[in-house]
Amino acid sequence: MSTDVVILAAGQGSRMRSRLPKVLHPIAGKPMVRHVIEAAESLEEARLHVVVGHGADRVRESLSDVSANFVMQEEQRGTGDAVARTLDALGDGPVLVLYGDVPLIQPDTLAALMEGVDAHHMALLTVRMAHPHGYGRIVRDEQGRATAIVEEKDASEAQKRIQECNTGILAATGAHLKRWLPQLSSDNAQGEYYLTDIIAMAAAEEVEVLTREPHGHYEVQGVNDRVQLSALERIHQHHQAQRLMREGATLADPGRIEVRGELSVGRDVFIDVGCVFEGTVSLADGVVVGAYSVIRDAHIGEDTTIEAHTLIEGAEIAGAGQIGPFARLRPGTRLARGARIGNFVETKNARIGEGSKINHLSYIGDSELGRDVNIGAGTITCNYDGVSKHRTEIGDGVFVGSNSALVAPLRIGRGATIAAGSTITDTVDDDSLAIGRSRQTQKSDWVPPHRR
């Protein structure tokens, strides 16, 4: 049976002090609401309904790739009113209500919450807190059944001492919600339509309220300001670090790693401090990542060493590579086994053959290098003519002397040598020496300007 999932994402988040809608503020480089959506999509046959309001266009644009029904709540009049806006789109089966600013809810918690929701049962996620100030309290009868939720501002002194709190996350059938939500009243301290009032309606109709608790409080912590956002970021990163260590990685400092996407690791991986991983990254067995490196959407083959302060984006490294320090591998870079990229080298859309080396201060773009090529310091491929990009092809065993300019389109044959300081514009034959520089001249009567 399909499950309708209603995600409330209409709030302004004024305490964030930002022009960005609150639910779009990121955790691990991804909008909070997207974390919630991914958890919801773990449920079988989930149908998403996102209630938007403040910054609705930006929220829709950010989630343009998500298959969801977007519903407008122009005036924020409480959670009950927000869910009521979706009633016409809901079926009569199970409905789960989530919040776009509660980003760390876990799929297994949602699966457990949905168990048993039917015509005679609804479900509520609760949490026990030593200091529950500000939270709605769960009121139970003599048999221990949940019968109501009382908000802090409406609670009596006795009710304020209750430590079991409402998280706002609940599930009921669409048939029940279609009957209960139109009966909500705004006669309360906030003047809002509380979704939580349906608990008392369920109890009055003898619909049992099943309660579940999350594995940790962090799953139900919402974000109202940047301090809370930062706290959840650290919790999320802590969990990522623990996962990586269990999967075979050694982290020099588990508190100084940032995973902003999907990072997979093999055995005996070592990650030094301050490294950032974005998008989809895989590190094979034996990879070493030096301090303060940034790796984005890349595969790093086994036994590769990445020295400190290296930026890799959209690249593939076959294995046994040596990269950095202070290197930049841009999208389209492909390194064969044993290739080496040294300090202050930049590559883009370049295939570097097995055993080839670019060790210092060079730019290699739109190029294909064969095996065992040596690129001298200060070499650049001049791949852009102001309108179009052109390719440079360098054969096996080529030696390019320092400070050379290779003007594309260009082919350098197998085993050729390029003299240092050359500007090469024409094809170089196999096993030949190319010299592209003027003959040195000297003026013995030269007087420098400062002596004139």
> pLDDT (tens digit, 9 = 90+) per residue, 266-301?
999 999 999 999 999 999 999 999 999 999 999 999
Least Cα distance to 197 among 172, 217, 223, 218 occurs for 172
Arithmetic mean of pLDDT, 165-187? 95
Which pairs with CB-CB distance under 8 Å and at least 24 residues apart come from 228-233? Answer: 229/16, 229/25, 229/27, 232/27, 232/103, 232/104, 233/27, 233/28
Give first-to-last CA distance, the chain, whole Å: 92
Q: Is 9 annotated to bind ligand?
A: yes
**3-220 has which CATH code?**
3.90.550.10
Q: Is 437 annotated to bind ligand?
A: yes
pLDDT at 38 (0 to 100):
97
CA gap 42, 150 in Å, rounded = 31
CA gap 44, 108 in Å, rounded = 12
> pLDDT (tens digit, 9 = 90+) per residue, 44-97?
999 999 999 999 999 999 999 999 999 999 888 999 999 999 999 999 999 999
Q: Is 166 annotated to bind ligand?
A: yes
> What are the φ and ψ backbone dihedral angles of 308, each rounded to 5 degrees?
-60, 150
Superfamily of domain 226-434: Hexapeptide repeat proteins (2.160.10.10)
Q: Is a pLDDT exceeding 80 seen at residue 384?
A: yes
> pLDDT (tens digit, 9 = 90+) per residue, 211-246?
999 999 999 999 999 999 999 999 999 999 999 999
Residues with active-site annotation: 360
Least Cα distance to 13 among 85, 105, 89, 103 occurs for 103
pLDDT at 339 (0 to 100):
98
Q: Is a pLDDT exceeding 90 seen at residue 304?
A: yes
Structural domain spans, the chain? 3-220, 226-434
- Which tokens go with 60? 């829709």
Q: Is a pLDDT exceeding 80 seen at residue 452?
A: no
Q: Is 251 annotated to bind ligand?
A: no
> pLDDT (tens digit, 9 = 90+) per residue, 104-149?
999 999 999 999 999 999 999 999 999 888 889 999 998 999 999 9
Arithmetic mean of pLDDT, 258-268? 97
**305, 318 in Cβ contact below 8 A?**
no
> pLDDT (tens digit, 9 = 90+) per residue, 60-73?
999 999 999 999 99
**304, 320 in Cβ contact below 8 A?**
yes
CA gap 53, 108 in Å, rounded = 29
Q: Is 78 annotated to bind ligand?
A: yes
State what percent of residues in the chain have pLDDT above 90: 89
> pLDDT (tens digit, 9 = 90+) per residue, 331-382?
999 999 999 999 999 999 999 999 999 999 999 999 999 999 999 999 999 9
Q: Is 363 annotated to bind ligand?
A: yes
